[in-house]
Amino acid sequence: MSIPQEHDYIGLSEPLQSEKLSYKMAAAAEGVTPSLNAEKVGVFNLKETELRLGLPGSEAPERKGGIGIGVSLFGKELKDESMCVKNFVSGAKRGFSDAINGAGKWGLSIHGGSAADLGGNGGPNLKEEIPAVKAVEERKNEASITAPASKAQVVGWPPIRSFRKNTLATNTPKKDDVAGKSGSGCLYVKVSMDGAPYLRKINLKTYCSYAEISSALENMFSCFTIGQCGQGLAAKEHLSESHLMDLLHGSEYVLTYEDKDGDWMLVGDVPWEMFTDSCRRLRIMKGSDAIGLAPRTMQKSKSQN
């Protein structure tokens, strides 16, 4: 599936199943509350989530201080937090369209875009985001994401039973790096954040420490958290970078992961290698849900209240 260069936002609301999300975002860009019928909303029931897809400053009545999401996630604004905030405050619609143009062809197709479509044309500051965006495509096999020359998959070929395919997908080789013949060198895990309408995927192998992954996740999800202080922003003109980081470090969220046994663990307890070996997925949990996992978090939130 190819993503058109010119973005006609109304046109994008053509009901391609894989572009449900883009439809909602397109509608939001026009300043219209997405009054979508149940089918179009699809997986996401916007009313249930705290976050809204309206752009920063748009006047959608249901919004309770939601945030401008998503598009600015991938736009140039992401690299410069203060700019992101300015858009928020000024309520400019430009955020969406500029971000699209700036993002080149990342497109709004979370599910349908192929690696090839998403690669290449983003501006230089987007290169970092693009692999992550590609990885959001949940159905794609990991190997075909990393290999840009991956071919279209023929149904039922090679003839491997789904049982085996599924097990291969979740099998991480414990290779001796000295042998130099290890596998694809990637370990994509899903990252969810409570309240965010979609998940991300990151490659654990690209990080070497908890600090790195922590800051990468902060970058990825910071725009979701702007909404947490949405109401306050009407008063504040300016939200500094440090405030954003505080939000993530502070009482609001705790980073957890699901290990091989299916248990939810607090990130940071075990050595990094052991963590990457056993981590199946990540979840940025609300502090209030993290009772028992991170007692210090609760104390922090108490002290802040």
Partner 1 sequence: MAYSFPEEVLEHVFSFLSLARDRNAVSLVCKSWYEIERWCRHRIFVGNCYAVSPEIVIRRFPELRAVEMKGKPHFADFNLVPEGWGAYAYPWIAAMAEAYPFLEEIKLKRMVVTDESLELISKSYKNFKVLVLTSCEGFTTDGLASIAANCRHLRELDLRESEVEDLSGHWLSHFPDSCTSLVSLNMSCLGSEVSFSSLERLVARSPNLRTLRLNRAVPLEKLANLVRHAPQLVELGTGAYSSEIRSDTFSSLADAFSACKQLKALSGFWDVVPSYLPAVYSVCSGITSLNLSYAAIPSSDLVKLISQCQNLQRLWVLDYIEDSGLEALAASCKDLQELRVFPSDPFGAEPNVSLTEQGLVSVSEGCPKLESVLYFCRQMSNAALIAIARNRPNFIRFRLCIIEPQAADYLTLEPLDAGFGAIVENCKELRRLSMSGLLTDRVFKYIGTHAKKLEMLSIAFAGESDLGLHHVLSGCDSLRKLEIRDCPFGDKAVLANAAKLDTMRSLWMSSCSVSFGACKLLAQKMPRLNVEVIDERGPPDSRPESCVVERVYVYRTVASRQRLDMPDFVWTLDEDSSMRYS
Could you say whether residue 139 binds partner 1 (CB under 8 A)? no
Stretch near partner 1 under the rule CB under 8 A, chosen from 61-69, 72-80, 198-206, 254-262: 254-262
Could you say whether residue 116 binds partner 1 (CB under 8 A)? no
Tell me which of 156, 273, 302, 303 binds partner 1, using CB under 8 A.
156
Instruction: Count CB atoms within 10 A of the CB of residue 112.
Output: 18
Cα separation, 74 vs 57, in Å, equals 18
Cα separation, 284 vs 254, in Å, equals 6
For residue 232, what are the contacts with CB-CB under 8 A and spacing of at least 6? Answer: none
From the centroid of its chain, how far is CA 112? 16
Instruction: Count CB atoms within 10 A of the CB of residue 131.
Output: 19
Could you say whether residue 231 binds partner 1 (CB under 8 A)? no
- # residues contacting partner 1 (CB under 8 A): 38
Tell me which of 48, 176, 269, 273 binds partner 1, using CB under 8 A.
176
Write down the least CB distance from residue 120 to partner 1, Å. 17
Peptide bond just before 158 cis, omega within 30 deg: yes
Could you say whether residue 274 binds partner 1 (CB under 8 A)? yes
Tell me which of 277, 289, 300, 301 binds partner 1, using CB under 8 A.
277
Could you say whether residue 171 binds partner 1 (CB under 8 A)? yes
Alpha-carbon distances, residue 63 vs 58, 126, 236 (angstroms): 9, 29, 19
Cα separation, 125 vs 118, in Å, equals 14
Write down the least CB distance from residue 168 to partner 1, Å. 7
Could you say whether residue 167 binds partner 1 (CB under 8 A)? yes
Q: Which one, of 129, 141, 136, 131, lies nearest residue 112 by Cα?
A: 136
Write down the least CB distance from residue 214 to partner 1, Å. 24
Helix residue ranges, H only, 108-155: 115-118, 129-136, 142-146
For residue 261, what are the contacts with CB-CB under 8 A and spacing of at least 6? Answer: none
Q: Which one, of 291, 299, 300, 262, lies nearest residue 279 by Cα?
A: 262
Write down the least CB distance from residue 257 to partner 1, Å. 16
The nearer residue to partner 1, 161 or 296, going by C-beta atoms, is: 161
Write down the least CB distance from residue 176 to partner 1, Å. 6
Write down the least CB distance from residue 201 to partner 1, Å. 17
Stretch near partner 1 under the rule CB under 8 A, chosen from 47-55, 142-150, 214-222, 285-293: 142-150
Tell me which of 47, 161, 296, 302 binds partner 1, using CB under 8 A.
161
User: Which stretches of the chain bind partner 1, using CB under 8 A?
Assistant: 141, 143-144, 147, 149-151, 153-165, 167-168, 171-176, 179, 181-184, 260-262, 274, 277
